[in-house]
Amino acid sequence: MINKESMICPYCRGENEEIRGKTFRTDDFKKTAGYSEPTYRDHLEMFILKSKNDKYAGLMIENINGARYIDIRYCPFCGRKLYKSDIKRGDK
């Protein structure tokens, strides 16, 4: 039998049009060939957040200075659509 719980994407999980996804941190990122470890710790955290009144989900990017975000329409990890389909391209 398929375990439904194991198929839920941890990064875009939520209920009733609200999303609070799993946080991933600097230590979770894989390093590219040219990456050199900084001498400081950057405390970078990222997660997907959406409240019921938000049109789109936000990919939250947080560090010691605070949080910033960009609107996203699909989960970058599992591809699930994160907005209502009645929003057309170009709508603000």
Q: Which residues bind Zn ion (CB under 5 A)?
A: 9, 11-12, 75, 77-78, 80
Smallest distance, Zn ion to C-beta of residue 45, A: 17
Q: Which is nearer to Zn ion, 59 or 75 (CB)?
A: 75
Residue 65 CB-half CA count within 13 A: 5
Q: Which is nearer to Zn ion, 7 or 33 (CB)?
A: 7
Smallest distance, Zn ion to C-beta of residue 9, A: 3
69 contacts 58 by C-beta, under 8 angstroms = yes
Smallest distance, Zn ion to C-beta of residue 91, A: 23
**Closest by Cα among 82, 26, 74 to 54:** 82
Smallest distance, Zn ion to C-beta of residue 12, A: 3
CA atoms of 34 and 12, how far apart (whole Å): 30
**Closest by Cα among 26, 54, 23 to 42:** 26
Q: Which is nearer to Zn ion, 43 or 51 (CB)?
A: 51
